[in-house]
């Protein structure tokens, strides 16, 4: 990646001609502040914030975010104050910079406690402005891109573990798939270098082997749809290296991965997506178990497309993704798609969408309320908010997709409402009566039957429940019962 002020200005100019002077001023300010500071690579320190800003410009970040990217380390690493930034660049830039500035060792002496406090501070930044986390993602991505210059292998591994556990899930939750996959591959390279190179080589060989086939299939799909009066554009991509590794755990060869080679079929509207599915299936035999309709049921991060896996030429397994141009934009830019417009409007729309439509916002706020310490907060984030989820449905078809894998019907009940959990008398899953320790599976439809005279939660429920929310509500119920029992005992 070219790292220069000219390249940054050129990149920003492609989508926004306003505020370029402010960006140049921020660069000059940061360059002076970081004068005589160097990275472990030996490069002038200014190359890092400059690279961060270029990464932000690649996703069409607004001017204030670009400036904050350039200035994101000046408070932490130089005598510059928040007041200095506010006086020169305004309150918004100052708030963004403060949001990504780490707490100091002076405030928290223990390194592990400091790390947890900084993660909590960063995550809660979404309440003020989601751009804080987006800047931090760009910062972490560039740090991972240059992690080879950190000479201590243990520090490399620690940074990679933290990135996989925190920053990769954040990127996925916000729909920033390009950032997610690049972070994954960098982490994989430092954590398991031998396996990384093994699967990287296999991916390269598969790419060389199938490049002609992929081009042939893309041309054929395009022509078949055009013959049926369906305008389209067809692109294709290979799964990233870490994704290949995860898919092959306890499984067969690389050729068996159902979404290894995926074709993106970009169409004019939703009707064309469903109509194209028919023609794709007429041309190539589908493998039903891999079908997903993310248009009817979008992912929590707003990703939409119809996914179907088919047997292509020479029995190659191929994934087909039917989506509109807007869906493809959201798949590329995630929540930052709101930046494709006026600066002030885009930032406001992004923040409003986060609070109203992205589950990660409410999960972070709820985790903060439940956690008594920074360590508990980080444990909740890793163990529940960012853990693999099970997707189930209520009886009226409402989707519940934020329960961690392994959750039981007790967790489901308390996820809907605490009173439903407290008064749960029986449970039907897919029309069949089940015990309260039933573990939910993808696609289950759950009906909770309540009764005012139900016995209510017991101590045993604490061992059955998996989620912190359910356990907290059960403990609150048991404590209320204990207090009520004591009151009755003391009554004359």
Catalytic residues: 76-77
Distance, in Å, from the CA atom of 241 to the CA atom of 106, rounded to the nearest integer, reads 40
Q: Produce one character per residue of 110-144: b if its CB has 16 or more CB atoms within 10 Å, e if not.
A: eeeebbbbbbbbbbbbbeebbbbbbbbbbbbbbbb
Please state the φ and ψ torsions of residue 234, each to the nearest 5 degrees.
-120, 125
Greatest C-alpha distance within the chain: 88
Distance, in Å, from the CA atom of 261 to the CA atom of 381, rounded to the nearest integer, reads 32
CB 308 within 8 A of CB 291: yes
Count Cβ atoms below 10 Å from residue 441 Cβ, excluding itself.
12
CB 361 within 8 A of CB 126: yes
CB 202 within 8 A of CB 257: no
Distance, in Å, from the CA atom of 413 to the CA atom of 408, rounded to the nearest integer, reads 9
Distance, in Å, from the CA atom of 307 to the CA atom of 329, rounded to the nearest integer, reads 17
Distance, in Å, from the CA atom of 121 to the CA atom of 131, rounded to the nearest integer, reads 14
CB 323 within 8 A of CB 267: yes
Residue indicated by tokens 């400091």: 114
DSSP 397-414: --EEEEEETT-BHHHHHH
- At 323 the three-state DSSP class reads strand
Tokens of 490: 């003391």
DSSP 27-86: HHHHHHHTTT-B-TTSSBTTHHHHHHHHHHHTTT--HHHHHHHHHTTHHHHSS--HHHHH
Burial tier of 198 (Cβ tally within 10 Å: 0-12, 13-18, 19+): middle
CB 36 within 8 A of CB 44: no
- At 289 the three-state DSSP class reads helix
Closest CA to 376 of 116, 171, 14, 138: 116
Q: Where are the alpha helices (DSSP H) in 72-130?
A: 74-77, 82-89, 91-100, 111-124
């Amino acid at each position: 990646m070219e790292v220069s002020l000219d390249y940054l200005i050129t990149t920003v100019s492609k989508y926004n001609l306003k505020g370029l002077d402010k960006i140049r001023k921020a660069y000059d300010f940061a360059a002076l502040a970081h004068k005589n500071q160097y990275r472990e690579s030996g490069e002038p320190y200014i190359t890092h914030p400059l690279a961060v800003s270029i990464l932000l410009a690649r996703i069409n970040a607004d001017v204030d975010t670009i400036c904050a990217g350039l200035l994101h380390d000046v408070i932490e690493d130089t005598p510059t104050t928040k007041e200095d930034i506010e006086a020169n660049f305004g309150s918004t830039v100052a708030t963004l910079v403060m949001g990504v500035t780490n707490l100091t060792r002076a405030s928290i002496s223990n390194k592990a406690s400091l790390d947890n406090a900084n993660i909590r501070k960063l995550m809660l930044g979404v309440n003020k402005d989601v751009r804080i986390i987006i800047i931090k993602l760009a910062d972490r991505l560039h740090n991972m891109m240059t992690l080879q210059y950190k000479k201590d292998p243990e520090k490399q591994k620690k940074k990679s573990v933290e990135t996989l556990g925190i920053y990769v899930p954040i990127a996925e939750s916000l729909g920033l798939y390009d950032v997610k996959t690049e972070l994954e591959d960098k982490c994989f390279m430092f954590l398991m270098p031998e396996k990384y190179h093994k699967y990287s080589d296999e991916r390269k060989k598969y790419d060389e082997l199938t490049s002609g086939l992929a081009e042939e299939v893309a041309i054929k799909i395009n022509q078949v749809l055009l013959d049926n009066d369906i305008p389209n554009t067809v692109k294709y991509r290979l799964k990233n290296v870490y994704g290949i590794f995860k898919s092959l755990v306890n499984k067969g060869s690389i050729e068996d991965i159902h979404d290894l080679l995926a074709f993106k079929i970009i169409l004019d509207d939703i009707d064309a997506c469903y109509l194209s599915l028919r023609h794709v299936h007429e041309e190539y035999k589908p493998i039903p178990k891999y079908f997903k309709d993310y248009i009817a049921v979008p992912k929590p991060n707003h990703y939409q497309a119809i996914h179907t896996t088919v047997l292509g030429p020479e029995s190659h397994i191929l994934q087909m993704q039917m989506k509109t141009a807007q869906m493809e934009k959201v798949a590329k830019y995630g929540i930052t798609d709101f930046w494709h417009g006026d600066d002030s409007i885009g930032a406001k729309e992004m923040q409003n969408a986060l609070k109203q439509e992205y589950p990660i916002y409410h999960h972070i706020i709820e985790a903060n309320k439940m956690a008594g310490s920074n360590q508990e907060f980080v444990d909740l984030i890793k163990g529940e908010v960012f853990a693999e989820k099970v997707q189930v449905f209520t009886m009226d078809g409402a989707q519940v997709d934020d329960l961690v894998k392994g959750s039981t019907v007790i967790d489901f009940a308390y996820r809907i409402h605490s009173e439903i959990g407290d008064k749960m008398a029986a449970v039907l899953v897919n029309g069949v009566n089940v015990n309260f320790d039933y573990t939910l599976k993808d696609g289950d439809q759950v009906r909770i039957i309540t009764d005012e005279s139900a016995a209510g939660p017991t101590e045993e429920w604490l061992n059955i429940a998996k989620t912190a929310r359910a356990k907290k509500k059960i403990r609150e119920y048991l404590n209320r019962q204990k207090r009520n029992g004591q009151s009755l005992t003391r009554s004359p």
